[in-house]
């Protein structure tokens, strides 16, 4: 299938350049692939796009370059891209979402009170408040550690400026 073939091309590009490729390069490759999925007329594929990849529209990855990383680039390349055999298009789309999410969304060293994973930092669309969200469960808390039950709007990734302003330490990879 066409899109899976394109995913395979992406994988090969990462493999051939794995000594020098940056997270920004990887994000851009994923974003290009997502753009091709977006242009499909096939309804079922378009629905998968809307569910998993539409979130990333409108973020310029160049504005989200943090000084310290919360993941190991080597592991991301090896375990999330090269070693994964994608079995179908939905799998590839979810993989693409996970990779983009990992690179774009700052992960803190703050533990989830429910499952103990480390929480990601996101912000409301006015970029005033920080919310800490768990990747594994639905847990969300505010800056004071108070659990948040529901949010009115979709949250956005925090910028490096916000990370500095709120003095948020990254998760240790």
Identify which of residues 111 and 160 has a Cβ nearer to Zn ion in the complex.
111
The count of other CB atoms within 10 Å of the CB of residue 167 is 6
Name the token pair of 164. Answer: 């500095």
The residue range among 30-38, 74-82, 129-137, 140-148 that interacts with Zn ion, by the rule CB under 5 A, is: 129-137
148 binds Zn ion (CB under 5 A): no
Residue selected from 55, 71, 101, 139 as contacting Zn ion according to rule CB under 5 A: 139
The residue range among 4-12, 16-24, 48-56, 127-135 that interacts with Zn ion, by the rule CB under 5 A, is: 127-135
Residue selected from 30, 92, 103, 134 as contacting Zn ion according to rule CB under 5 A: 134
Contact letters for Zn ion, residues 85-114 (x by CB under 5 A): ---------------------------x-x
The site that binds Zn ion (CB under 5 A) totals a number of residues, namely 7
DSSP string, the chain: -HHHHHHHHHHHHHHHTTTT--HHHHHHHHHHHHHHHHT---HHHHHHIIIIIGGGTT--GGG---SS-SS-HHHIIIIIIIS----SHHHHHHHHHHHHHHHHS-EEEEEPTTT-PEEEEEE-TTS--EEEE-SSSS-EEETTS-B----SS--EEPPHHHHHHTTPPBPP-
Residue selected from 24, 51, 137, 151 as contacting Zn ion according to rule CB under 5 A: 137
Residue selected from 115, 143, 148, 151 as contacting Zn ion according to rule CB under 5 A: 115
Name the token pair of 127. Answer: 């970029």
C-beta of 117: minimal distance to Zn ion in Å? 5
Q: Residues in the site for Zn ion, rule: CB under 5 A?
A: 112, 114-115, 134, 136-137, 139
């Amino acid at each position: 299938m066409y899109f899976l073939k394109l995913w395979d091309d992406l994988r090969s590009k990462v493999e051939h350049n794995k000594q020098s490729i940056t997270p920004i390069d990887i994000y851009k490759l994923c974003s290009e692939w997502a753009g091709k999925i977006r242009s499909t007329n096939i309804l079922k594929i378009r629905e998968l796009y809307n569910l998993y990849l539409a979130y990333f529209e409108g973020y310029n990855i160049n504005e989200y370059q943090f000084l310290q990383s919360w993941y190991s680039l080597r592991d991301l390349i090896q375990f999330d891209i090269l070693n994964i055999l994608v079995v179908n298009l939905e799998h590839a789309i979810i993989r693409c979402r996970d990779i983009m999410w990992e690179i774009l969304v700052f992960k803190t060293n703050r533990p989830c009170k429910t499952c103990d994973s480390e929480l990601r930092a996101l912000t409301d669309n006015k970029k005033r408040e920080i919310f800490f969200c768990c990747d594994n469960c639905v847990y969300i808390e505010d800056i004071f550690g108070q659990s948040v039950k529901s949010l009115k709007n979709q949250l956005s990734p925090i910028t490096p400026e916000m990370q500095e302003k709120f003095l948020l330490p990254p998760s240790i990879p």
